[in-house]
């Protein structure tokens, strides 16, 4: 396992074990298998665990806490999040603190190294492209972020409950760019990075959400980057191993799977699995400190570790990958 510069932690493993899979969100698995996956990650040199209350209603946090219970965690790093929504200013700290306290209990920690806003950022009065009826629960306005969220994060730092804070790079591009250009920028950002340049189902705020704009701004402002959606919810793997939600929420992920057929063909020509190539693509992008994995079992984790060991891609290879998608 290679380690990379990541300002909040100094160094971080090139791969991070995320909570989606072990929280039993991304397809069928078991708690027993999830715990084995955490132990495998630890054995393979992964030193960063990224979870959130939303991953299995706290299950990912409980799995990590139970898996590492009683162990020395001095050389490990932990990130969790809070989906805040937009609240009155005087309720923001209490909501963030309550979520964090519960997360710390699940993780069996006294503090987390990085605490992220899990809500998607929007400008005030912005209307969501889809699911606008859930706007107040799923998004945080930029004025709320500046006036209340940042001060609340700083208070949590002073209280010793978090070391650093950041944002998930999803929402309305204009609002995210304002947050990155603020006098108090985030210590880190989770940024969608994949050959499709797609956030899929979770890119519901803007009609044509463009992750590359967020990536470019992070690079310009030198904001440390944690890459997410490397395989775009399964669209860049060999097969979608889950059924579409009856609500139709994740239909765009299945649409992306169809769009990615040229990518799968290219991976086959290069004698590599699509998932492996997609992870190597994300690892090859400038400024990426670590790629957050959504694996749900040891087998998937070991494949990702093997991909990391194969090394990064050349500029020519990256261009070939991007061209095969554009030309489809």
- pLDDT tens-digit series, residues 210-234: 999 999 999 999 999 999 999 999 9
Instruction: Give exposure, 238-274, as e/b (b: 16+ Cβ within 10 Å).
Output: eebeeeeeeeeebebbbebbebbebbbebbeeeebbb
Contacts of 221 (CB under 8 A, 6+ apart): 180, 181, 185
- pLDDT tens-digit series, residues 45-97: 999 999 999 988 889 999 999 999 999 999 999 999 999 998 999 999 999 99
Question: 26 or 153, which is more confident?
Answer: 153
| Segments forming the whole domain that contains residue 296 | 3-326
- pLDDT tens-digit series, residues 177-218: 999 999 999 999 999 999 999 999 999 999 999 999 999 999
Enter the DSSP assignment of 271: T
Judged against a pLDDT cut of 80, whether residue 25 lies above it is answered with no
Judged against a pLDDT cut of 80, whether residue 295 lies above it is answered with yes
Structure tokens at 209: 């959400």
- pLDDT tens-digit series, residues 125-161: 999 998 888 888 899 999 999 999 999 999 999 999 9
Judged against a pLDDT cut of 90, whether residue 107 lies above it is answered with yes
Q: What is the total count of domains within the chain?
A: 1
Q: Return d(Cα 135, Cα 191) in angstroms, integer.
A: 21
Predicted confidence at residue 131, as pLDDT, reads: 83
Q: What does residue 227 show for φ and ψ, rounded to 5 degrees? A: -80, 135
Contact criterion met (CB below 8 Å) for 88 and 97:
no
Parallel, antiparallel, or unpaired: how do β-strands 15-18 and 288-293 relate? parallel
Instruction: Give exposure, 11-43, as e/b (b: 16+ Cβ within 10 Å).
Output: bbbbbbbbbbbbbbbbbebeeebbbbbbebbbe
Predicted confidence at residue 191, as pLDDT, reads: 97
Structure tokens at 171: 């929402």
Instruction: Give exposure, 280-290, as e/b (b: 16+ Cβ within 10 Å).
Output: bbbbbbebbbb
User: Worst-scoring range by mean pLDDT, 100-104, 145-149, 166-170, 242-246?
Assistant: 242-246
Which DSSP string do the residues of 216-261 spell out, in sequence order? HHHHHHT--EEEE-TTGGGTTSSS--SPPPTT-TTHHHHHHHHHTH
Q: Return d(Cα 144, Cα 240) in angstroms, integer.
A: 38
* CATH number of the CATH domain containing 150: 3.20.20.100
- pLDDT tens-digit series, residues 239-281: 988 888 888 888 999 999 999 999 999 999 999 999 999 999 9
Judged against a pLDDT cut of 90, whether residue 23 lies above it is answered with no
Q: 26 falls in which pLDDT band (50, 70, 90)?
A: low
3-state class of 49 per DSSP?
Answer: strand
Judged against a pLDDT cut of 90, whether residue 328 lies above it is answered with no
Phi-psi region of 110 (alpha: psi -120 to 50; beta: other; left: phi over 0): alpha
Judged against a pLDDT cut of 70, whether residue 326 lies above it is answered with yes
CA quadruple 117, 121, 127, 128: dihedral sign: negative
């Amino acid at each position: 396992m290679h380690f990379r510069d990541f300002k909040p932690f100094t160094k971080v493993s090139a791969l991070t074990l995320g909570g989606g899979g072990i929280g039993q969100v991304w397809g069928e698995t078991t708690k027993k298998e999830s715990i084995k996956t955490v132990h495998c990650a630890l054995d393979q040199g992964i030193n960063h665990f990224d979870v959130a209350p939303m991953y299995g209603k706290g299950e990912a946090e409980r799995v990590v806490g139970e898996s590492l219970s009683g162990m020395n965690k001095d050389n490990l790093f932990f990130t969790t999040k809070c989906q805040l929504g937009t609240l009155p200013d005087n309720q923001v700290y209490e909501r963030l603190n309550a979520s964090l306290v519960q997360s710390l209990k699940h993780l069996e920690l006294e503090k987390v190294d990085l605490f992220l806003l899990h809500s998607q950022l929007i400008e005030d009065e912005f209307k969501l492209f889809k699911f606008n009826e859930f706007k107040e629960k799923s998004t945080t306005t930029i004025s709320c972020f500046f006036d209340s969220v940042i001060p609340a994060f700083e208070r949590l730092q002073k209280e010793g409950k978090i070391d650093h804070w950041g944002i998930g790079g999803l929402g309305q591009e204009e609002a995210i760019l304002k947050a990155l250009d603020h006098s108090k920028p985030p210590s880190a950002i989770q940024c969608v990075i994949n050959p499709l340049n797609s956030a899929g189902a979770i890119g519901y705020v803007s009609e044509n959400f463009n992750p590359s704009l967020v990536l470019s701004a992070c690079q310009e402002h030198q904001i440390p980057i944690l890459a997410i959606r490397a395989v775009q919810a399964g669209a860049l793997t060999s097969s979608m191993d889950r059924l579409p939600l009856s609500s139709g929420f994740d239909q765009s992920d299945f649409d992306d799977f169809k769009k990615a057929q040229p990518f799968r063909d290219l991976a086959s020509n290069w004698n590599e699995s699509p998932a492996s190539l997609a992870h190597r693509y994300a690892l090859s992008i400038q400024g990426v400190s670590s790629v957050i994995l959504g694996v749900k079992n040891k087998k998937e984790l070991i494949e990702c570790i093997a991909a990391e060991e194969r090394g990064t891609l050349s500029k020519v290879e990256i261009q070939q990958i991007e061209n095969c998608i554009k030309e489809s």
